[in-house]
Amino acid sequence: QAVQKLAAAQSPEAIPTLIQVLGFNNPGAAVAATEGLINLGEIAIAPLMKNLDDYNYGARAWALRVFAGIGDIRALDLLISAATTDFSLSVRRAATKGLGNIQLSSLPPEDIAPTQEKIFRTLCLTIQDGEWVVRYASIVALENLTQSLKAFNNNYLIPQIVEQLTLLSQKDDEIGVQTRAKLALTKIKQEV
Amino acid sequence: MTEANLTPEKAIANLLQKEDLGMRYYAAWWLGKFRVATDEAVNALIQALEDKEDRAPDGGFPLRRNAAKALGKLGFNRSVEPLIKCLDCDDYYVRESAAQALEMLNDTRAIAPLMKLLETAVDGEELTKYGKGTPLGKPHPHEPYEAIIEALGTLKAKNALNLIKPFLKHPIPKVAYGAARAMYQLTEEDSYGEILVTALQGKELQLRRSALMDLGAIGYTSSADAISATFAENSLKLIAMKGLLESAIAKETEEKDSIHPEAVKIMELMDSLL
């Protein structure tokens, strides 16, 4: 509860304490601290990145969730490597979801399409993950990537995304994953 | 011994030899873990259910416990009778592993023997002293009630309803949750699902986790909001929500091929937990 109050204060001075809380083995407190850091936004990115190497896996997972929630472009490479290689499925899950929320508007215009393509290629890998929850997160990320492609008028990747989602909606081992892919297809088609 | 240098043949040979007890114990676990679903593996594991060599300091039978668990995972009908015999074993943990394995095998032959283990615990609508108590110096009740009740719920043992209902008031919360879970599976009455929803607000993380898993297992779709709001790891919440999602998908929709609105709502909540 103390953490909830601190998180709600939305003060940059709370950042070091909130970061510390991510390392405690207390999921309730970590959820509150993560939300607090996400709400603080960009300002939380640099201090989190500075400490990342010293973190235990639990804390890394929460930090990745913060990066994923804020969607800062500085975290892109971290998210890509975590999404594809981390041994913890909760880290892969959070990083994958985050790839769909990266804010690209701060990039030079000529870098936007290549970055979107890089994200798409990564999601084509995570969509083959052995864990259903990572495949599920990949679908959500692809759906969000479609929004970003439309926003920058880079529609050329959308047919490939639709193709990937169609495949999952028919062939995934998990009925839940299939259904999420169906939902994503419905949303993408509605918006076209 | 590591996973890398063990093969199904080697593991079965390790399980059948008599000299190295540790190797047998590990082999039994390994065959279940890697789902070696062959006749040879099942034969060796069934044989291990009667082992007398491997004894724990408390008099228990560690090898039998592992063998029973493994047999549950391998899914062969002919393990049902040997596992039923294990319900009479002196070792509480062998009985617990056997009840869990019988749940996984989902064979109705297990219903009557499982019910028999509940009889001494129930008198009319109340639990007996025996049912509520623990054996002297032991950390567990007289019988593995949680495993037994959950198995009866999965086996759709409607005739066990009166035996299970008194356990809703069992002093061990996990046993009481198990009863709520089974009662929901047997009656589909929301009031039993709501008991588990209330449990999501419990003080202990362990118990909230337990309630989460129970709600996921019964696919109680009305608990979606409560699940996403409870204080626990998102990974566990997502597993529970997947259970809800599957049960919402199974509901009929007005238009063929459309997604049930409840399923859409559950997925929206799941998205925010990723």
Identify the CA nearest to A65 among candidates A146, A139, A137, A128: A137
Q: Is the pLDDT of residue A188 over 60?
A: yes
Q: What is the pLDDT of residue B176?
A: 96
Residue B94 is assigned to a structural domain of this protein: yes
Among the partner residues A31, A179, A180, nearest to B231 by beta-carbon distance: A31
Strand partners, B123: B126
Report the CATH number at residue B94.
Answer: 1.25.10.10
Q: What is the pLDDT of residue A30?
A: 86
Radius of gyration of chain B (CA): 20
Per-residue model confidence as pLDDT tens digits over A18-32: 988 888 888 778 888
Answer whether B246 sits within 8 Å of A175, measured CB to CB.
Answer: yes
Distance CA B168, CA B174 (A): 10
Per-residue model confidence as pLDDT tens digits over A147-165: 999 999 888 899 999 999 9
Residues in chain A: 192
Residue B88 is assigned to a structural domain of this protein: yes
CA distances from B64 to B23, B87, B110 (A): 14, 12, 18
Q: What is the pLDDT of residue A192?
A: 56
Measured between beta carbons, which residues in chain B are less than 8 angstroms from residue A97? 271, 274
Dihedral-angle region of residue B251 (phi above 0 means left; psi in -120 to 50 means alpha; beta otherwise): beta
Mean pLDDT along residues A123-143 = 97
Dihedral-angle region of residue B124 (phi above 0 means left; psi in -120 to 50 means alpha; beta otherwise): left
Q: ∠B210-A129-A103 over CA atoms, to 5°?
A: 95
Q: What is the pLDDT of residue B1?
A: 47
Residue B230 is assigned to a structural domain of this protein: no
Residue B60's contacts (CB-CB under 8 Å, 6 or more residues apart) are: B91, B92, B93, B94
Residue B61 is assigned to a structural domain of this protein: yes
Low-confidence ranges of chain B (pLDDT < 70): 1-4
Measured between beta carbons, which residues in chain B are less than 8 angstroms from residue A180? 267, 270
Distance CA B202, CA B273 (A): 21
Q: Which domain holds residue B14?
A: 1-105
**ipTM score over 0.90, yes or no:** no
Residue B43 is assigned to a structural domain of this protein: yes
CB atoms within 10 A of CB B135: 12
Residue B12 is assigned to a structural domain of this protein: yes
Res. A144 pLDDT band, cuts 50 70 90: very high
Residue A164 is encoded by which pair of tokens?
A: 């990937």
Number of domains chain B contains: 1
Estimate the crossing angle of helix B190-199 against helix B173-187, to 10 degrees: 150
DSSP state, residue B18: S
Strand partners, B126: B123
The percentage of residues in chain A with a pLDDT greater than 90, rounded to a whole number, is: 58
Measured between beta carbons, which residues in chain A are less than 8 angstroms from residue B234? 31, 90
Residue B34 is assigned to a structural domain of this protein: yes
Answer whether A140 sits within 8 Å of B274, measured CB to CB.
Answer: yes
Answer whether A97 sits within 8 Å of B233, measured CB to CB.
Answer: no
Per-residue model confidence as pLDDT tens digits over B72-84: 999 999 999 999 9
Distance CA B63, CA B73 (A): 16
Distance CA B72, CA B68 (A): 6
Per-residue model confidence as pLDDT tens digits over A107-125: 999 999 999 999 999 999 9
Residue B91 is assigned to a structural domain of this protein: yes
Distance CA B115, CA B122 (A): 11
